[in-house]
Amino acid sequence: MAAATEIDSEAENKAENKILLGVLDLVERDPALTQRSVARDLGIALGLANAYLKRCIQKGLVKVSQVPRRRYVYYLTPLGFTEKSRLTASYLVYSFSLFRQAQAQFAKIFVAAARRGQRRLVLVGEGDLAEIASLVAGKHAIEICGIIPATHNSTQLAAAVESIGKVDGLVVTAMLAPREAFEAATKLLSADRVYAPDMLRVHSPAQPPELAR
């Protein structure tokens, strides 16, 4: 009975974290969201959406400002970005569909990069996602010419990339702090030469149509 209770508790905790991650992700995507849009996009009750937004505000993960016409604008705080990164990493580690999702998303990235003539790619971030990306690349007209540690320091990133030689694009595969790694990468190369799988929840305004949500 105790074991069953622990399993139920773990499942409930994962479900709550998934909703919390969804709320933080929606806030980052659209600061002008509403409680109704959160409920609709996450498939939860309106009251639950309201409760999670309030919880995020109370925890200092989200700030809210009132704008004209009695509307509100929500935005992530630095703590909110950190928590979103932690929850994303946790979700990926425990997701049974990680491998299948990653395969499909990297395939889309490599097809888009190849169409742009970007064939020599560097992976930014070591670990499971980098290994999956390397496997998928073998099925496409793509060469993974290096895997470098993720960093938020664009100068360090530039030095690592320069040591590899000619590079057409960068693919973020960092499970921890992917947003910081993505921002450092876009300081080094134009945004249309930097990619990240959708599962990392990094949003690029320059992503090609086939990668758009």
Q: What is the pTM of this model?
A: 0.67
pLDDT per residue as tens digits for the range 92-142: 776 666 788 899 999 999 999 999 999 999 999 998 899 999 999 999 999
Domain ranges, ordered by start, for the chain: 2-94, 98-211
Tokens of 115: 């169409």
Query: For the structural domain made of 98-211, what CATH number should be given?
Result: 3.40.50.2300
2-94: which CATH topology? Answer: Arc Repressor Mutant, subunit A (1.10.10)
Rounded Cα distance, 84 and 54, in Å: 16
Question: What is the three-state SS of 164-209?
Answer: CCCCCEEEECCCCCHHHHHHHHHHHCCHHHEECCHHHCCCCCCCCH
pLDDT per residue as tens digits for the range 160-177: 999 999 999 999 999 888
By three-state DSSP, how is residue 77 classified?
Answer: coil
pLDDT at 100: 84
